[in-house]
Homo-oligomer: A and B are copies of this chain.
């Protein structure tokens, strides 16, 4: 069975996903596209050689009879509306992060999904599909490190544009870690604190960079994450889990090892798309397969909600300089 997919939002990530569905993955076909910029939607369809209908708006696309599932890759503030409409229309929906720009928006989606009676939404936290993180998850679950006690992590980008401001370090950058650690540890957050080290000269005026985020989980695991988005040297994701019996570090991305010009070296990636390219493939294939089988998995609306709540508290902690507590509502049995 081929899953017929409608894509809402044909910007960079929308086009990337459309390309992989069309050229790399199996069992999915893009039959409908729309974008706030209609020309761009058409251009993408042409570029990828899609025989897809270009819709005026997302709502019509969602309702179209030949659309089995919806991909929401539009501007963040529009996510909630489209996800709700997809649930309403009884269609599976893959939503890029954020699920919604407010915790309340996420809650609305959760309520709608519970009412629908089955999992309809997969959120685009692709790290859960990265081979390195999956190894880490397996090792933790198999108790090979003993109980996890601490995580040391870093999220580093070579640089960010001027429109990137301090809270985006949480909402755009740390958001991935916020989901990943919950999943790795099977745990929830209890408190957050944000520390601002001396600012790098490479940061624009409206962003504090780097930042250090400290998280505490319900089970007592303590996490420190360096968020450094103008680190200059590359795109670098580090994660080290310290357990009672030992420590595991995420693998470095594959590179040749050189002996040249006085250095023993390997290359560091510059581009997050390359770092997680395979994870995006596996993530979307899982969605397509789930739709085909009538049962989707992966990061749920609840996970999107939990990340949103934690993110909001982290932004509050940026502002207060204090340790701020994170209160997660009780998890509905639906998401157990």
User: Which residues on A are within 8 Å of B, measured CB to CB?
Assistant: 23-26, 131-132, 135-136, 139, 144-150, 152, 195-202, 210, 212, 214, 216, 219-222, 224, 226, 228, 231-234, 236, 242, 244-252, 254-268, 270
Chain B residues with CB under 8 Å of A250's CB are: 256
A252–B264 touching, CB < 8 Å: yes
A152–B149 touching, CB < 8 Å: no
A224–B245 touching, CB < 8 Å: no
- Please report the C-alpha to C-alpha distance between residue A34 and residue B146 in the assembled complex, in whole angstroms: 46
B242–A258 touching, CB < 8 Å: no
How many Å from the CB of A129 to the closest CB on chain B? 14
B254–A262 touching, CB < 8 Å: no
B212–A234 touching, CB < 8 Å: no
A232–B244 touching, CB < 8 Å: yes
Chain B residues with CB under 8 Å of A212's CB are: 150, 222, 224
Chain B residues with CB under 8 Å of A270's CB are: 262
Chain B residues with CB under 8 Å of A254's CB are: 131-132, 135, 251, 254
Q: Which of B25, B202, B265 touches A264 (beta carbons < 8 Å)?
A: B265
29 contacts between A and B (CB under 8 A): A24-B26, A135-B254, A135-B255, A135-B256, A146-B200, A149-B200, A149-B228, A150-B212, A197-B220, A197-B222, A198-B221, A210-B242, A224-B224, A232-B244, A232-B245, A232-B260, A233-B247, A234-B259, A234-B262, A247-B258, A248-B258, A249-B259, A251-B256, A252-B264, A254-B254, A262-B270, A263-B265, A264-B267, A265-B265
How many Å from the CB of A322 to the closest CB on chain B? 9
B132–A256 touching, CB < 8 Å: yes
- Please report the C-alpha to C-alpha distance between residue A224 and residue B263 in the assembled complex, in whole angstroms: 24
Minimum-distance CB pairs A-B, first 10? A246-B260, A198-B220, A265-B265, A197-B222, A247-B259, A249-B257, A263-B265, A248-B256, A251-B254, A200-B244
Given contacts A221-B198, A254-B254, contact A261 B246 (CB under 8 A): yes
Q: Which of B131, B219, B263 touches A198 (beta carbons < 8 Å)?
A: B219
Specify which of A195, A198, A219 lies most central, judged by the most chain B CB atoms within 10 Å of its CB. A198
Q: Which of B26, B135, B147, B246 touches A201 (beta carbons < 8 Å)?
A: B147
- Please report the C-alpha to C-alpha distance between residue A32 and residue B24 in the assembled complex, in whole angstroms: 24
Chain B residues with CB under 8 Å of A236's CB are: 259
- Please report the C-alpha to C-alpha distance between residue A135 and residue B197 in the assembled complex, in whole angstroms: 24
Chain B residues with CB under 8 Å of A195's CB are: 214, 216, 222
A149–B197 touching, CB < 8 Å: yes
- Please report the C-alpha to C-alpha distance between residue A200 and residue B243 in the assembled complex, in whole angstroms: 8
How many Å from the CB of A17 to the closest CB on chain B? 16
Q: Which of B150, B258, B260 touches A210 (beta carbons < 8 Å)?
A: B150
- Please report the C-alpha to C-alpha distance between residue A223 and residue B226 in the assembled complex, in whole angstroms: 11
How many Å from the CB of A165 to the closest CB on chain B? 19
B210–A149 touching, CB < 8 Å: yes
